[in-house]
């Protein structure tokens, strides 16, 4: 979508030269994917805010920023405003968790109630009250189909707005993820930088091909996050019968589950499949550690991808820490945190856009 010009702010904006840096606060920060990317792209992140206490360790261990465990519904602007550095352009980032939409089924998808999207309304409230110079949001591609999105846009009165559905692979994320990215500025028109990998997306092999081999149910001795779920004897036979890029439809009949033989099961071709080395991975989800939850089988090894592989596909550094050394690695909680994260690379691209934007504008308008 092309940038949208909005009416001028009612309140004057202080002048800022391009030499001044950007100070950010990351709402719904999760484990720090967006924050880590913003920092890599040249933005100083003062703090991350999330209601999930499990995010504190990974957020603070990998980012030089404070973690505040808060419910956004109870969060006041008076708590947020002092977090920003003085005399810097303020960026408020927020990736409000929203009800996921299944992409496994080729059949029609039911519309979700707007009641699922109330956190976005809270984000809009904070924007209206705080009036930061810059705003960014990442969310599901279907969000513009819902009335809550138009309400959020109204909270950006006075901003120049750009938003579009971004193919993450075109920006160096080795997966087929698509996400809505929104950027807003009081300083002037803004638009995400052009794709950096449109001609040649990164492949799965380039992302995780160098990791040591492990078996299903095994964790690597030097990296306990490089761990893969165990497989039942039946699922072990199934993955051995699977080919990269294929589905359960490639299996011999005796391996089919009852759900596959029912008419309704035929609309789920993307489960129980292997990834392909020479293509981006499918979208990483919160259930990416399970072979039966999508096309999450390793291209060669008879197992689902490991948690570390999932994190790398989400463009986290290979040494990103998710749990303390004395805490057991649990697949479901960590899968949720990794799958819900903003890919680090997308945060970096957003940061590069804002840094260029502030430099080009020079002063507020």
**Cα(291)–Cα(276) distance, integer angstroms:** 14
**Cα(83)–Cα(45) distance, integer angstroms:** 9
Q: Is 185 left (phi over 0), alpha (psi -120 to 50) or beta?
A: beta
SS3 call for 35:
helix
98 is catalytic: yes
C-alpha dihedral sign at 357, 362, 364, 365: negative
Contact 46, 66 (CB under 8 A): yes
Cα diameter, the chain? 71
In terms of Cβ atoms closer than 10 Å to its own Cβ (0-12, 13-18, 19+), residue 336 is buried
Element (H, E) at 217: none
> Which residue in 95, 98, 168, 229 is the catalytic one?
98
**Cα(289)–Cα(291) distance, integer angstroms:** 7
Active site residues: 98
């Amino acid at each position: 979508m092309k940038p949208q010009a909005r009416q001028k702010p009612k309140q004057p904006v202080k002048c800022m030269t391009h030499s001044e840096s950007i100070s950010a606060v990351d709402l719904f920060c999760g484990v720090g994917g967006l924050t880590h990317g913003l920092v890599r792209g040249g933005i100083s992140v003062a703090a991350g805010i999330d209601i999930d206490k499990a995010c504190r360790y990974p957020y603070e261990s990998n980012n030089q920023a404070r973690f505040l465990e808060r419910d956004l519904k109870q969060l006041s602007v008076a708590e947020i405003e002092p977090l920003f550095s003085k005399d810097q352009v303020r960026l408020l980032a927020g990736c409000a968790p929203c009800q996921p939409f299944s992409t496994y089924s080729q059949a029609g998808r039911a519309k979700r109630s707007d009641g699922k999207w109330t956190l976005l309304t809270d984000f809009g409230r904070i924007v209206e009250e705080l009036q930061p110079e810059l705003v960014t949001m990442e969310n599901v591609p279907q969000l513009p189909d819902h009335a809550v999105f138009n309400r959020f846009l109204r909270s950006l009165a006075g901003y120049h707005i750009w938003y579009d559905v971004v193919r993450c692979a075109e920006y160096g994320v080795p997966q087929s993820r698509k996400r809505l990215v929104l950027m807003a500025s009081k300083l002037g028109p803004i638009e995400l930088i052009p794709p950096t990998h449109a001609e040649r997306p990164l492949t799965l092999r380039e992302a995780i091909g160098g990791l040591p081999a492990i078996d299903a149910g095994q964790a690597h001795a030097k990296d306990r996050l490089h761990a893969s779920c165990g497989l039942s004897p039946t699922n072990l036979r199934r993955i051995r019968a699977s080919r990269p890029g294929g589905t359960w439809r490639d299996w011999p009949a005796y391996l089919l589950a009852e759900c596959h033989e029912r008419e309704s099961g035929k609309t789920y071709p993307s489960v129980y499949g292997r990834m392909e080395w020479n293509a981006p991975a499918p979208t990483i989800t919160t259930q990416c550690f399970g072979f039966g939850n999508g096309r999450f089988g390793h291209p060669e090894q008879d197992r689902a991808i490991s948690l570390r592989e999932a994190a790398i596909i989400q463009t986290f550094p290979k040494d990103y820490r998710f749990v303390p050394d004395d805490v057991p690695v649990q697949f479901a909680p960590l899968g949720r945190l990794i799958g819900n994260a903003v890919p680090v690379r997308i945060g970096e691209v957003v940061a590069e856009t804002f840094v260029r934007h502030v430099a080009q504008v020079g002063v507020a308008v």
